Amino acid sequence: MKLHELKNVAGAVHRKKRVGCGEGGGHGKTSGRGGKGQSARSGSSIRPGFEGGQMPLYRKLPHRGFNNYNHRTEIAVLNVGDLGSLDAKVTEVNATVLASAGLIRGGEKTVKILGDGELSRALKVTAAKFSESAKAKIEKAGGQAIVG
């Protein structure tokens, strides 16, 4: 069977609904728009949350409270195994080196190294945070884990 040989199951494809083509079709006269009024007019759309002039619910409810979104700190997360993919000439690793290698985004300064994967060579890694297992693996490979 090939893609061009596929056929739809019987009843899966419907005719396009043609409105305004006589009352016998079921969508005649008002074309499924009910009676008169704002929603019956062409080009009409009522914005979400509009309740016909009544005070809408979103304006009745209090909007108080703290939202952490503007005060959050974005932390780029990287595994120890990903450090092995860096160029063999690289011995010192920091946020700018990781960004130029494409392992984190360019603007990210805060990096946390996690312990998934293995490291086979000694690297001097500078990051904001390390997990305990990541620190152990870096030091086991003969490198240094510097918090900075």
Helix (H/G/I), strand (E/B), else coil: 59: helix
In a domain, 39, yes or no: no
Q: Give CA 41 to chain center in angstroms.
A: 38
In a domain, 5, yes or no: no
Beta strands in the chain (DSSP E): 76-79, 92-93, 111-114, 124-127, 129-130, 144-147
Token pair recorded at residue 102:
């494409």
Q: 116: domain range? A: 73-147
In a domain, 104, yes or no: yes
In a domain, 38, yes or no: no
- 2-27 per-position pLDDT tens digit: 999 999 999 999 988 899 999 888 89
The CATH code of the domain that includes 127 is 3.100.10.10
Q: Quote the CA–CA distance of 6 and 30 in Å, as a whole number.
A: 39
In a domain, 27, yes or no: no
Residues of the chain with pLDDT > 90, as a percent, come to 78
In a domain, 56, yes or no: no
In a domain, 45, yes or no: no
Alpha-helix residue ranges (DSSP H) falling in 15-111: 57-60, 80-83, 95-100
pTM, full prediction: 0.57
In a domain, 101, yes or no: yes
Count of structural domains within the chain: 1
Q: State how beta strands 111-114 and 76-79 pair.
A: parallel
Q: What is the pLDDT of residue 63?
A: 86
> 38 versus 4: which is more confidently predicted?
4
